[in-house]
Structure 1
Amino acid sequence: MKLEGKVVLVTGASSGIGEAIARHLADEGANVVLAARREEKLTDLAQSLNDQSNGKALVVKTDVTKKEDMENLVQQAKDTYGKVDMIINNAGVMLLSFMKNDEVDQWTQMVDVNINGVLHGVHAVLPDMLKQESGHIVNVSSVAGHEVFPSSSVYSATKYAVRALSMGLEKELSKTGVRVTNISPGAVESELTNHITDDEVLEMFKDRASSMKKLQAEDIARSVVYAVTQPDYVNVNEVVVRPMQK
């Protein structure tokens, strides 16, 4: 149990990558604080972890777009466990659309969740991490933050921003004891594509579905565990995880 006694916040923990990360961290002995808007799903996950894993789980209903919610998440963790050792800024939405279709509300939603959600997470944990001279901030970006494809313009812009934030933070915090890791998953089998409403994009994905190999959420969770279980003097700055193509 490499993370026994560690306290880890996981945003977007109600499904997909976030749920898998929480399970793998708890298996390593971490006390995980589960954050998302879907409280019922978090409660089911927490019961499973408390019954079957090596760590404990706490549920805090959280909207990452609200600074106050993220501050409350940290406070609840400290009230229960006394500290926060890590945060996994995983919450994100992928509302792919072609720019000509003018989905302005969806653009704004991606900026709010994918960028502001990460900023709010950093804001909430960094002061205490600096005081204790230790901590780990893990930001989940995407391979879409490395390259842009048709319909991903805004989504990619948000994920490029997450990578830039991670790189800047790593440089700022290099002598503080606080580590920063950026995780960039490739295509993962998850709920993300279920929220796409642009019919042209859906048709494009339908055409590619038979030839597109996807990762599983557990593949990303293992990369997070790898990054956060290194010795204190090792900072894994970036991990890119792509599926092998058929």
Structure 2
Amino acid sequence: MNERVKGKKVLITGASSGIGEFLAIHVAREGGTPILAARSAHKLEIIAEKIEEVFGIQTPWYKADLSNDAEWKDTIDRICYEHGSIDGLINNAGIAVFDNVVESNWQDIDRMLSVNVKSLFRTTHQLLPHLLHHGEGHIINIASQAGKIATPKSAVYSATKHAVIGFTNALRMEVEPKGIYVTSVNLGPVRTKFFQQADPSGKYEKSVDKIMLDPNRVARTVVDCLFTKQREINMPSWMDSGSKVYSLAPVTMEKLMQKQFNKK
């Protein structure tokens, strides 16, 4: 059991499946209390019951549509009222729809901005005063390698993750001197249901099948760094190396990687 996590309350958004579900399990395994939020009440209830049965950790959950700012704001207020101080926040909720900009549906664009960016800002903005009041805590934002290297058909998704990384880096400099850790998690493709919405054709998922990350391993890595000072988690490491080369020579990389960039 991780003594840093034991007894701590950690709010996890997008907790009804994939990485979010495994994050909840690993927080509980280390003796922490995961507080779950997502749209599916049925899935959240099942996860909470499983965690309570296996680890004996009472697991509160909240049904909320994070794309609805007013609803999510009220839910955060309720969480703070019912649980007092929150020790950690993992902004995990995120969606994507891969399409050329000219062919994109505005509702899809708006929803990506609302879930990936606005709800993350909202959650952080409302919880940050509580963390600062106690002089400790950890905010982890699940970003993406797409926030470092944009590719065709992911203009909006990449833009949302650029925003998350920029927000995370600035926030870190603001609050680390006050005792709050801030970490961005920049991931390549992860084997979850994410791609069922992002690319219903299944072509992109099939093209990256061999390099997909295991969501359980991702969650384990994230929880292992909870309440420690860590600027970034980059997975896989070779993709992070590629993003560094890209930042130095973007034109060359775009030419060399054109085939790979157009797999969506």
- Per the TM superposition, whether the score is higher than 0.5 is yes
On the 8 A contact 1:215/1:243 being kept in 2, the answer is no
Q: How many angstroms does 1:108 deviate by?
A: 1.1
What's the secondary structure of 1:122's corresponding residue?
Answer: helix
- 1:106 and 2:108 equivalent? yes
On the 8 A contact 2:140/2:185 being kept in 1, the answer is yes
Where does residue 11 of structure 1 map in the other structure? 13
Note closer, same or farther for the CA distance 1:205–1:150 as it changes in structure 2 (3 Å cut): farther
Deviations 1:54-109 (A, max 9, x none): 53311111222344444444444445443200111000001111123132221111
Structure 1 counterpart of 2:217, from 216, 219, 230: 219
Q: How many angstroms does 1:209 deviate by?
A: 4.9
On the 8 A contact 1:20/1:217 being kept in 2, the answer is yes
Where does residue 169 of structure 1 map in the other structure? 171
- Separation of aligned partners in 1, 2:74 and 2:88: 16
Higher helix fraction: Structure 1 or Structure 2? 2
What's the secondary structure of 1:183's corresponding residue?
Answer: strand
What's the secondary structure of 2:139's corresponding residue?
Answer: strand
Matches within 5 A, 1:166-245: 166-196=168-198, 202-206=202-206, 208-209=207-208, 212-230=210-228, 235-242=229-236
On the 8 A contact 2:135/2:180 being kept in 1, the answer is yes
Where does residue 95 of structure 1 map in the other structure? 97
What's the secondary structure of 1:88's corresponding residue?
Answer: strand
What's the secondary structure of 2:176's corresponding residue?
Answer: coil
Structure 1 counterpart of 2:117, from 115, 118, 133: 115
On the 8 A contact 2:144/2:185 being kept in 1, the answer is yes
Where does residue 39 of structure 2 map in the other structure? 37
Note closer, same or farther for the CA distance 1:177–1:195 as it changes in structure 2 (3 Å cut): same
On the 8 A contact 1:30/1:54 being kept in 2, the answer is no
- For 2:85, the aligned partner's letter is K
- Separation of aligned partners in 2, 1:167 and 1:45: 32
Using the size of structure 2 for normalisation, the TM-score is: 0.83
Deviations 1:147-176 (A, max 9, x none): 111211110000010000100100111211
Where does residue 84 of structure 1 map in the other structure? 86
- For 1:87, the aligned partner's letter is L
Using the size of structure 1 for normalisation, the TM-score is: 0.89
What's the secondary structure of 1:184's corresponding residue?
Answer: strand
Unaligned ranges ≥5, structure 2:
240-264
- Matched residue count: 237
Where does residue 49 of structure 1 map in the other structure? 51
